[in-house]
Amino acid sequence: MAGWQILGRVRAVVLGCFTLLGACGSCSGEDDDELAPEPCRNDVGPFTGEGTHYTADGTGNCSFEAGPDLMVAAMNGVDYNRAAWCGGCVAVEGPQGEVTVRIVDQCPGCARGNLDLSREAFAKIAPLSAGRVPITWRPVACEVDGPVAYRFKDGSSAFWTAIQIRNHRYPIAKLEVRDEAGAYQPIRRATYNYFVDSSGLGPGPYTLRLTSTRDQVIEDVGIALGDAVVRPGIAQFPICP
């Protein structure tokens, strides 16, 4: 996050569970801790399957870099669904415990409902020697600090633009950009976890609208175009009750 640069005028509006960064239902300026947010939508699971393990470093089909946090997993090919789970977190329960992992990769050979966990994560639910164990898993909020971020893929320009969403609390359902007429246009998600417009989004800066799988919405204004850079938003999806 140290490499983020804030360029242009940036603002955010969070809708769904929260509006204008305050809780819905009683947006009266009271202390947020005393407000009861509306339930978030589209909660799914739990799911059942089998857990296996692999040697992980945080990289994979989701196009994230290697990192020190090895509590990660690869999603089976069916549920991967064009990177729909990338960057999201799931709590996995096995024979000897539970662990929360972030989805960073795809396991094409895994059956629906299965997860391929890092060795470090697998060891928290079963002995590595077990190899394959029954699991139950469900989506949970990722423990993140700060706002969501937008990573422009190397080679991005006004004529070909690819944006990856990072540091999000819940999986991303869609990304849209506001056009000159003020209407939002969807950007198609590639299987490698970038939202790509093959004709480009123009020179920017952009107004982008994110929707989480819980139907929360963040709007960021003033996101500047870049080539292999990360731009911060100014809001984060609130934790669903």
Q: How far apart are the first and last CA of the chain?
A: 27
Residue 6 pLDDT: 31
pLDDT per position in the chain (241 positions), as tens?
A: 333 333 333 344 544 443 333 333 333 334 444 444 555 876 788 999 999 999 999 999 999 999 999 999 999 999 999 999 999 999 999 999 999 999 999 999 999 999 999 999 999 999 999 999 999 999 999 999 999 999 999 999 999 999 999 999 999 999 999 999 999 999 999 999 999 999 999 999 999 999 999 999 999 999 999 999 999 999 999 999 7
Calpha distance 88→136 (Å, rounded): 16
CA atoms of 161 and 188, how far apart (whole Å): 11
Q: Which two tokens stand for residue 233?
A: 């938003």
The pLDDT, as a whole number, for residue 103 is 98
Please give the pLDDT value at position 45.
Answer: 87
Burial of residue 199 (CB within 10 Å: 0-12, 13-18, 19+) is: exposed
| Contact (Cβ atoms closer than 8 angstroms) between residue 18 and residue 8 | no
Beta bridge partners of residue 136, listed in sequence order: 48, 93
CB contact at 8 A, 35 and 29:
no
Pick the CATH number of 47-140 from 2.40.40.10, 2.60.120.620, 1.10.1040.50, 3.90.1150.10: 2.40.40.10
pLDDT for 42 equals: 67
CB 17 within 8 A of CB 213: no
| Domain residue ranges of the chain, discontinuous segments joined by + | 11-26+145-232, 47-140
Q: Look at residue 130 and give its three-state secondary structure.
A: helix
Supply the CATH classification number for the domain 11-26+145-232.
2.60.40.760
In the DSSP assignment, the letter for residue 129 is: G
Answer yes or no: same fold for 11-26+145-232 and 47-140.
Answer: no
Q: Given this model, what pLDDT does residue 99 score?
A: 98
